[in-house]
Amino acid sequence: MFEGPVQDLVDELSKLPSIGGKTAQRIAFHLLLRTSRTDADRLAAAIVAIKEQVAICPRCFNFAAGDLCRFCSDSRRDETVVCVVESPPDIIAVERTGEFRGLYHVLGGAISPIQGIGPDELRVRELLDRIKADGIVEVIIATNPNIEGEATAMYIARLIEPLGIRVTRIASGLPVGGDLEYADEVTLGRALEGRREIHG
Amino acid sequence: MFEGPVQDLVDELSKLPSIGGKTAQRIAFHLLLRTSRTDADRLAAAIVAIKEQVAICPRCFNFAAGDLCRFCSDSRRDETVVCVVESPPDIIAVERTGEFRGLYHVLGGAISPIQGIGPDELRVRELLDRIKADGIVEVIIATNPNIEGEATAMYIARLIEPLGIRVTRIASGLPVGGDLEYADEVTLGRALEGRREIHG
In this structure, which topology does domain A4-53 adopt according to CATH?
A: Helicase, Ruva Protein; domain 3 (1.10.8)
Handedness of CA B6, B7, B9, B14 (dihedral sign): positive
Q: Comparing B174 with A164, which gets the higher pLDDT?
A: A164
Contact at 8 Å (CB) between A44 and A9?
no
Cβ neighbours for B130, distance < 8 A, ≥ 6 positions apart: B59, B82, B105, B136
Q: Kindly determine whether residue A30 and residue B13, on different chains, have CB atoms separated by under 8 Å.
A: no
Chain B: closest CA distance from residue A31 (Å):
8
Q: How confident is the model at residue A194 (pLDDT cuts 50, 70, 90)?
A: low
pLDDT in tens, chain B (200 residues): 777 889 999 999 999 988 998 899 999 989 988 899 999 999 999 999 999 999 899 999 999 988 899 999 999 999 999 999 999 989 988 888 888 999 999 999 999 989 899 999 999 999 999 998 878 999 999 998 788 998 999 999 999 999 989 999 887 666 667 777 777 777 777 677 767 677 76
Indicate which of A50, A67, A182 best probes the interface with B, i.e. most B CBs within 10 Å of its own CB: A50
> How confident is the model over A158-164, as a mean pLDDT?
91
What are the sequence ranges of the domains in chain A? Answer: 4-53, 76-168, 170-200
| Residues forming beta bridges with residue A84, ordered by sequence position | A105, A141
Angle at A71 between CA A133 and CA A125, to 5 degrees: 35
Chain B: closest CA distance from residue A165 (Å):
30
Chain-centroid distance, C-alpha A26: 29
In this prediction, residue B73 carries a pLDDT of 94
Chain B: closest CA distance from residue A32 (Å):
6
In this prediction, residue A106 carries a pLDDT of 96
In this prediction, residue B34 carries a pLDDT of 85
From CA A145, how far away is CA A131, in angstroms rounded? 23
Cβ neighbours for B154, distance < 8 A, ≥ 6 positions apart: B198, B200
In this prediction, residue B173 carries a pLDDT of 66
Contact residues, chain A, for B15 at CB < 8 Å: 35, 39, 43
Q: Kindly determine whether residue A32 and residue B50, on different chains, have CB atoms separated by under 8 Å.
A: yes
Nearest to B157 by CA among B139, B172, B171, B174: B139
Chain B: closest CA distance from residue A199 (Å):
33
Nearest to A80 by CA among A149, A36, A130: A130
* DSSP-based three-state secondary structure for B56: strand
Smallest Cβ–Cβ distance between B6 and the set A12, A45, A63 belongs to A63
From CA B88, how far away is CA A46, in angstroms rounded? 29
Cβ neighbours for A58, distance < 8 A, ≥ 6 positions apart: A67, A68
With a pLDDT cut of 90, the percent of chain A lying above it is: 57
With a pLDDT cut of 70, the percent of chain A lying above it is: 94
Indicate which of A10, A27, A43 best probes the interface with B, i.e. most B CBs within 10 Å of its own CB: A43
Contact residues, chain A, for B11 at CB < 8 Å: 46
* DSSP-based three-state secondary structure for B141: strand
Least confident of A1-15, A171-185, B9-23, B151-165: A171-185
**How many interchain CB pairs under 8 A, A with B?**
155
Contact at 8 Å (CB) between B21 and B65?
no
Chain B: closest CA distance from residue A139 (Å):
23
**3-state secondary structure string, A122-184?**
CCHHHHHHHHHHCCCCEEEECCCCCHHHHHHHHHHHHHHHHHCCEEEECCCCCCCCCCHHHCC
Contact residues, chain B, for A29 at CB < 8 Å: 87-88
Q: What is this structure's pTM? A: 0.70
Least confident of A66-75, A163-172, B127-136: A163-172
Query: In CATH, which of 3.40.1360.10, 3.40.50.11690, 3.10.20.90, 3.30.70.1350 is domain A76-168?
Result: 3.40.1360.10
Smallest Cβ–Cβ distance between A6 and the set B25, B32, B54 belongs to B54
Q: Comparing A119 with B199, which gets the higher pLDDT?
A: A119
In this prediction, residue A31 carries a pLDDT of 92
Work out the mean pLDDT of chain A and round it to a whole number: 88
Q: Kindly determine whether residue B37 and residue A28, on different chains, have CB atoms separated by under 8 Å.
A: no
In this prediction, residue A174 carries a pLDDT of 66
In this prediction, residue A146 carries a pLDDT of 81
Distances (CA, A) of A160 to A84, A131, B68: 12, 8, 68
> How confident is the model over A15-40, as a mean pLDDT?
91
- In the sheet that holds B78-85, the strands lie side by side as B102-106, B78-85, B138-141, B166-169, B196-197
**Tally of residues, chain A:** 200
